[in-house]
Amino acid sequence: MSTKNSTERINFATTKLKTEYPDFLDIQIKSFQDFFQLETKSDERSNEGLFKTFSDNFPITDTRNQFVLEFLDYFIDPPRYSIQECIERGLTYSVPLKARLKLYCTDPEHEDFETIVQDVYLGTIPYMTHSGTFVINGAERVVVSQLHRSPGVFFGQSFHANGTKLYSARVIPFKGSWIEFATDINSVMYAYIDRKKKLPVTTLFRAIGFERDKDILEIFDLADEIKVSKTGLKKVLGRKLAARVLKTWHEDFVDEDTGEVVSIERNEIVLDRDTVLEKENIEEILDAGTKTILLHKDNNEMGDYAIIHNTLQKDPTNSEKEAVEHIYRQLRNAEPPDYETAKGIINKLFFSEQRYNLGEVGRYRMNKKLGLDVSIDEKVLTQEDIITIIKNLIKLVNSKAEVDDIDHLSNRRVRTVGEQLAGQFGVGLSRMARTIRERMNVRDNEVFTPIDLINAKTLSSVINSFFGTNQLSQFMDQTNPLAEITHKRRLSALGPGGLSRERAGFEVRDVHYTHYGRLCPIETPEGPNIGLISSLSVYAKVNNLGFIETPYREVKDGKIDKSKTPIYLSAEEEEGKKIAQSNLELDDKGQISIDKVVAREEGDFPLVTPEEVDYMDVSPNQIASISASLIPFLEHDDANRALMGSNMMRQAVPVMRPEVPIVGTGLEKRVATDSRILINAEGNGTVEYVDSDKITIRYDRSDEDRLVSFTDDSKTYELIKFRKTNQGTSINLHPIVKKGDKVTKGQVLCEGYATQKGELALGRNMKVAFMPWKGYNFEDAIVISEKVVREDIFTSIHIDEYSLDVRDTKLGAEELTNDIPNVSEEATKDLDENGMIRIGAEIKPGDILIGKITPKGESDPTPEEKLLRAIFGDNAGDVKDASLKASPSLNGVVIDKKLFKRTVKDKQKRSRDKENIAKLEADYAVKFDTLKDQLTEKLFTLVNGKTAQGVQNDLGENVFPKGKKFTLKMLNSVSEYEHLTKGTWTTDKKTNILINELIHNYKIKLNDIQGSLRREKFAITVGDELPAGIVKLAKVYVAKKRKLKVGDKMAGRHGNKGIVARIVRQEDMPFLEDGTPVDIVLNPLGVPSRMNIGQIYETVLGWAGQKLGQTYATPIFDGATIDQITELTKKAGVSQFGHTYLYDGGTGERFDQPATVGVIYMIKLGHMIEDKMHARSIGPYSLITQQPLGGKAQFGGQRFGEMEVWALEAYGASSTLREILTVKSDDVLGRAKTYESIVKGEAMPEPGLPESFNVLMHELKGLGLDVRLEE
């Protein structure tokens, strides 16, 4: 193995064209950055994320439109605590969000009201860490992206009970009411509003402006209009009426309330639709006074539109007014007060931007689906949308179109963190807008400011409840770096607005052809969530509309332009394209060199000519996720086992001394880098100082860089030492560079936490033999050599955190102390004066970790007692021991302790605080002045001798007027450089860029110093910020070294898992001809039936690699062939397929048959026996049934169930059975007597009546039965 700090792997990939992976955490980090847009200038921010949410909710006016509150900008202050401090204190890592708001009056009567611009605090907002997580109440959490149905229109079909096909078109908006158009068994089309209110489609048409039958029929071009005249009517005898013939007249009547004469329109049906015109009808039509009639067209397409005529027949309305009133009645179950109100309700439903929003995605999908050209800014439904949807639905009914595939990825989109947060902000801000409006209305003639109108808690409560309780805000899986990165790239179909496990059918969970290169077909959970939770593929990206895209190389006339970067396509853009595989044979010019190519077209695999190919995959592992791409020889594994393998790698416990796999896939380095765990050099430089805690590097910088920067050339990196993860594993980094080393940009400086030499290293390479060993490796069990335990090969360090809080109780304050009543000196010897155990102390079960006393609660002390206590101090008898003791299974060493406390206020403390704050402010004033002096010096260097071109501040005031020459005095006269945002400094573009960068860096440095001042002030006045009600918080960290034990679960990378059954002495293990004993013995029967042959390939290649001192990269679907492996085994001088004769360690005899021997990469999983094994003698019992509780946490017993009872019955073991069902379970008196007899050494008593029998008796009595026991 190479001892250098990086591993050069021999790569077996045949794909010539390499495509760089996108940043694996882009889906989290970029989404959050796009949401906040903090890097973008306020006037350049795009209308998305937080900016859009503010724009949607502001300006806010009162009901009389006199006062207007307008939004100008938002910004954040630095966080009060660092990420690590938040984790230690149990706080949320958040930033204060502030908005610049402008309040003005539009009413001329309020002339005295001045326009006010204020920065208003809106609450603290959880802020994403550099690795894409959030720290909420001291725990790292991840907001998982949701895969949900995209807004837009969906055409579907269902079957009626009688077998008739029913078709529907559903319009799903981003916000607002759903509308569905559906057919029924009588070929009538109805519109359903919000899935419940049903009305004929033609009624809806009338309500949206197509008032008469004529208008509706004209939409579909279904009728001929004939002028009414005797001769004209005679010509069309025998044809059917397409619309009713109505006789219309007006009637006057006197309104009883007002006495006015009112004229109303009346109509009467003369001839109904579908009436065949005959001679006698001519007079009736002439008498009706109508000018035209509508007749059915005589063409072939008439049959297609029969559904419209059927719907008109069912339509109870004849005019827009009737239709509007009918819809109102359906929606509200009440009579409309007047026509205008009813019309307003309908408009608000689908045509009002306040109530209805298709969103950009919805409009894009509608336009694509319906072939429309409506502006992307049109977020409400249009008449054209509704008409086109109905026409498409009619095509569907007539089998001239196809229904949508709901599982196609063009119909499903991703809601990333940013979008989910924007949704929550929308809810919070709309609630805030409501309270602002109410406050504006109340304060009529008072003078008020924006701060008076805003309640910051409104927004914070919504955001905090999202992070704390939302199904998609999850406690991060932090077992190892792979688990972290996978959790952040996970996509869930569950959650609010998504599916539920119970309702999700097989189709939703299944792999769809559009998943190719977008969602991994392998990595998904095994349980009830299978297929609902998936992982993003390695090259996949989420575009700005939320659709998943994957990269392809463009092929034109059978040729690939190698210089072109791949283009990203969504599932919709990929439709109908022929896509070839990435390992196509290409000549030097990029021309496909074979006659026929197997391509992919939607769900098919046609054989096409090179000229027909549209695109080509970028890589063979494009299909899989990170976890699946880390399994070498995945192509030789059954998919079910590959699924287990990729899931189990996330459960790998980081071992003390990790080792990179000899056989990898080449992705290990990228995973370690993108996990953001390691520290990488930010540029070229030299290592100045190294120890176990920190690394200092002096970077090479140009004079220009130094000029615009406020930081030193040297930068110190603190290394994480023994930090507890969410799952109790430990992160411990150590340097891999030495003092004086030259480093290059991106070079890894440290390793640890399942990484080695800058690569992911989840386990160790082990010498393996596939053979039975005395039956100990029966059913996947594993036999391990004692050497593995002795040399700490799989030893891992686990850290437990124990905390105790001190509160002020009604009976007095609790106290941390080592003076605990009725406890021996021996028990408190390791406690300090704060009652906290010393660092380095060895912990055994029952030891005191934190000593605490709390006032006893027998009786409230009288005033006299309180006085005596105040004079003579607390009496020991009045307090009880409330210490934190080590649990029964805890053995370890104290590695750290922390005590956080709030400051206690008294007069002296307050006056001291004032002095300290004054001194602090004076110190910081010097820092601010120094920083400003540095800025003006640097600025003068840049602008010396140049003329200003006009520089303005935020308010548009000219600070450096155009034409003035810059002088040092002029530069020193400006007080607030951070507000200089507009205008041009000089005529030289390069100088301007440097000045803007300088001022940007100045703002960052200024913010840092201001944040530091705020933190130090807070530390003086408040102390440590702790959760409500807590005065002190003590924490103790205990580290445990866990060696490999019998019962621990281990696995390879191919789903080959097992339990350690026996740890055998090294000399008893099977050994090779040269005397080398193997480390691990696996059962060969675990391979053929599981069909994960990849492990055999890995074993043989691993042995060759170990002998030759090489490491390999064998990418999935593009890995080493059997010939390449054979060549390497020959070179290494090992058996071709690993077949080797082994010798029995016990007898020294050779085994009859050769076994497969080699080197396999094994990992230890988080399922350790130490967490699971426990024993119970006596313990707690359930309150009602009086039976023992279950589970390790409750110190419970094993359940002896129905089937176990049958087993003992079958054996006739009646005494054992009676004992188990009585004294060992719920015979309360019997167990007490049994205990007594064991203590006294007497014979066992007869069992009594089990409590469960009494429960049954009470149940029967509850049924009104009089049950008595006969003696």
Q: Please write the tens of the pLDDT for every residue from 674-700.
A: 999 999 998 899 999 999 999 999 988
Place 956 in a pLDDT band, splitting at 50, 70 and 90: low
pLDDT of residue 1: 31
User: What distance in Å separates the CA atoms of residue 104 and residue 93, rounded to the nearest whole number?
Assistant: 35
In a 10 Å sphere around its CB, with 0-12 CB exposed, 13-18 middle and 19+ buried, how is residue 922 labelled? exposed
Q: What is the SS3 assignment for 300?
A: helix
pLDDT of residue 2: 34
Residue with the bigger pLDDT between 948 and 169: it is 169
Place 980 in a pLDDT band, splitting at 50, 70 and 90: low
* Pairing label, strands 1112-1113, 10-11: parallel
Place 121 in a pLDDT band, splitting at 50, 70 and 90: very high
* Structural domains for the chain: 26-148+415-485 (3.90.1100.10), 151-220+300-409 (3.90.1110.10), 223-296 (no CATH), 503-629 (2.30.150.10), 801-902 (2.40.50.150), 926-1021 (no CATH), 1174-1262 (3.90.1800)
Place 7 in a pLDDT band, splitting at 50, 70 and 90: low
Within 10 A of 1066 (CB to CB), how many other CB atoms are there?
A: 15
Q: What is the SS3 assignment for 364?
A: helix
pLDDT of residue 109: 75
Within 10 A of 1001 (CB to CB), how many other CB atoms are there?
A: 16
Asked whether the predicted pLDDT for residue 1152 surpasses 60, the reply is: yes
Query: Across the chain, how many H-helices and E-strands are there?
Result: 35, 61
Closest-CA residue to 420 (of 357, 361, 359, 463): 463
pLDDT of residue 3: 38
Average pLDDT, the chain: 88
Asked whether the predicted pLDDT for residue 992 surpasses 80, the reply is: no
pLDDT of residue 754: 94
Cis before 1077? omega within 30: no
CB-CB contact of 636 with 1118 (8 Å) = no
The structure tokens 């040269």 sit at 1074
Q: Which amino acid is at 627?
A: S
pLDDT in tens, 837-884: 999 999 999 999 999 999 886 666 678 777 777 777 655 457 888 899
pLDDT in tens, 1035-1088: 999 999 999 999 999 999 999 999 999 999 999 999 999 999 999 999 999 999
Q: Span 1108-1132, mean pLDDT?
A: 95
Within 10 A of 56 (CB to CB), how many other CB atoms are there?
A: 17
Place 982 in a pLDDT band, splitting at 50, 70 and 90: low
In a 10 Å sphere around its CB, with 0-12 CB exposed, 13-18 middle and 19+ buried, how is residue 48 labelled? middle
Residue with the bigger pLDDT between 232 and 524: it is 524
Name every residue whose Cβ is closer than 8 Å to that of residue 736 and which is 6 or more positions away in sequence: 5, 748, 749, 750, 751, 757
Asked whether the predicted pLDDT for residue 49 surpasses 60, the reply is: yes
Cis before 1088? omega within 30: no
User: What distance in Å separates the CA atoms of residue 1119 and residue 1114, rounded to the nearest whole number?
Assistant: 4
CB-CB contact of 675 with 554 (8 Å) = no
User: What distance in Å separates the CA atoms of residue 351 and residue 344, rounded to the nearest whole number?
Assistant: 10
Count CA atoms closer than 13 A to 446's CA, side-chain side: 10
User: What distance in Å separates the CA atoms of residue 796 and residue 70, rounded to the nearest whole number?
Assistant: 58
pLDDT of residue 198: 86
pLDDT in tens, 1208-1261: 999 999 999 999 999 999 899 999 999 999 999 999 899 989 998 989 999 999
Q: Span 288-317, mean pLDDT?
A: 76
Name every residue whose Cβ is closer than 8 Å to that of residue 680 and which is 6 or more positions away in sequence: 673, 746, 747, 748, 749
Asked whether the predicted pLDDT for residue 406 surpasses 50, the reply is: yes
Residue with the bigger pLDDT between 824 and 16: it is 824
**How many residues are recorded in the chain?**
1271
Sheet hosting strand 980-983, strand order edge to edge = 958-960, 951-953, 980-983
pLDDT of residue 1114: 96
DSSP assignment string, 528-559: TTTTTEEEB-TT-EE-TTS-EEEEEEEEETTE
Closest-CA residue to 412 (of 372, 478, 447, 361): 361
pLDDT of residue 874: 56
Asked whether the predicted pLDDT for residue 958 surpasses 80, the reply is: no
Within 10 A of 894 (CB to CB), how many other CB atoms are there?
A: 21
Place 422 in a pLDDT band, splitting at 50, 70 and 90: very high
pLDDT in tens, 877-903: 578 888 999 988 889 999 999 998 887
pLDDT of residue 117: 87
Closest-CA residue to 651 (of 477, 503, 522, 526): 477
- φ/ψ (deg, to 5) at 109: -70, -25
Asked whether the predicted pLDDT for residue 1004 surpasses 80, the reply is: no
> Among the ranges 480-489, 586-595, 1246-1255, which has the highest mean pLDDT value?
480-489
Residue ranges in 289-377 assigned as alpha helix (H): 306-314, 320-332, 339-351, 359-370
User: What distance in Å separates the CA atoms of residue 417 and residue 694, rounded to the nearest whole number?
Assistant: 33
Q: Which amino acid is at 870?
A: A
pLDDT of residue 317: 86
pLDDT in tens, 688-742: 999 999 999 998 888 777 777 777 888 899 999 999 999 999 999 999 999 999 9
pLDDT of residue 978: 66
Closest-CA residue to 682 (of 710, 726, 716): 716
pLDDT in tens, 362-399: 999 999 989 888 888 888 998 899 999 999 999 898 88
Q: Span 321-344, mean pLDDT?
A: 86
pLDDT of residue 898: 92
